[in-house]
Structure 1
Amino acid sequence: MLYIFSGLPGTGKSTLSAALAGELRATYLRVDVVEQAMRAAGVWVDGPAGYIVCYEIASQNLKLGLDVIADTVNPIHETRRAWRGVAEDLGIPYVEIEVVCSDEREHRHRVATRATDIPGFVLPTWDEVKNRQYDDWERDHIVLDTAHQTVAESLLALREQLDRLRN
């Protein structure tokens, strides 16, 4: 199964997707880690390069029969189609999960106060988050609102939605 996480920085997407990956013992792909490693190697990272690397790693792990958790902002229709294509090309089921924080004040606070967990990675500012292109969704998907919820509460809500999809 491919679990495709999407959402703006500061919504809790990485925390939640990492928690699910640990629970499922799934391969965890975080585009921020890939892109920062590319920068550290001296590769100019602009455009879809980090995503393309993640698509290929995901495909290889899915071919091995492993679940894959993809943690990316996934802001535009093209990247969303590409993630679905990874699973569809292999005949593997997938689920799209958008993580949001509906309380703008809380979201802004999270963006302003969080610390990076990736050495050398520069986190976006609130203005960068708010001004980022983020296309409206064209299809049904899971939407998980993390505002005013703990990680445990958000993970439980996600598991409930995933269980409803399976049944």
Structure 2
Amino acid sequence: MSDSARLVVVCGLPGAGKTTVAEAAADRLGATLVRTDVVRKELFPEPTYTDEESRRTYEAVFERAGAALAAGEPIVLDGTFRRADRRDRARAVADDRGVPFRLVRVTCEEAVAKSRIRAREGDASDADVAVYDRLREEFEPIDDPVVVDNTGDLAGTLARVRELF
């Protein structure tokens, strides 16, 4: 197993800046980046966001993670991961392969996140402000996460990523 193999999960609410953080982490680690938004649209070109679609999307993400880790490669997963069982499953994928695991929660002030959601165009995410509100209510607690607060400027966020990776 390569010394560089590791699994990083970047989670949080829509508009928080998960993809910004995940891309920076993947770049620092020389890792493959897998976004749940992209995988979902590969599997379901016109997604309806059912529980079954979500289950199949996360299964595909975990399969890709396992394959990358088996090849000795680092991988970063970018998704809401609002459910504790999915975060636990990601940790199990890393544990099964004997590689380090890090869970990073990206946070952002609500007003900033909603402003970002309203402004984004051409992104793989279809989440709007109503989805943000629903997911905020559904997001299951994380015990002692590593946090990146992405409320401020990009330079500050990237400095935090350099600190972590």
TM-score by length of 1: 0.85
* Contact 2:28 2:162 (8 Å CA) reproduced: no
In angstroms, what is the RMSD of aligned CA positions? Answer: 2.0
Aligned to 1:158: 161
- Secondary structure at the residue paired with 2:13? coil
Aligned residue number for residue 110 of structure 1: 116
Q: Percent identity?
A: 28
Q: Is the alpha carbon distance of 1:148 and 1:41 closer, same or farther for their aligned partners in structure 2, counting shifts above 3 Å?
A: closer
Distance 1:125 1:23 in 2: 30
Alignment correspondent of 2:150: 146
Superposed, which structure 2 residues align to 1:12-27 within 5 Å?
12-27=17-32
Shift of 1:136: 1.2
1:86 aligns with one of 93, 103, 122:
93
Please list, as runs of the form range in 1=range in 2, the aligned pairs for 1:97-136 lying within 5 A after superposition. Answer: 97-101=104-108, 103-118=109-124, 123-132=126-135, 133-136=138-141
Question: Residue type matched to 1:98 in 2?
Answer: R
Q: Please give the per-residue CA displacement for 1:44-98, whole angstroms capped at 9, x wherever unaligned.
A: 8623111100101111111111110010100011101001010011111110000
Letter in 1 for 2:61: C
Which aligned pairs between 1:36-115 and structure 2 lie closer than 5 A? 36-40=41-45, 46-101=53-108, 103-115=109-121
Note the C-alpha offset of 1:155.
1.9
1:6 corresponds in structure 2 to 11
**Cα offset for 1:131?**
1.3
Give the structure-2-normalised TM-score: 0.86
Equivalenced residues, count: 156
Letter in 2 for 1:155: L
The 2-side partners of 1:60 and 1:78 are apart by 20
Unaligned runs of 5+ in 2: 1-5
Q: Give 2:3's aligned residue.
A: none
CA distance in 2: counterparts of 1:29 and 1:147, whole angstroms: 23
What is the CA–CA distance in structure 2 between the aligned matches of 1:154 and 1:116, rounded to whole Å? 22
Distance 1:47 1:80 in 2: 14
Question: 1:116 is aligned with what amino acid?
Answer: G
How far apart are 1:159 and its partner, in Å?
2.3
CA shift, 1:117, in A, is: 2.8
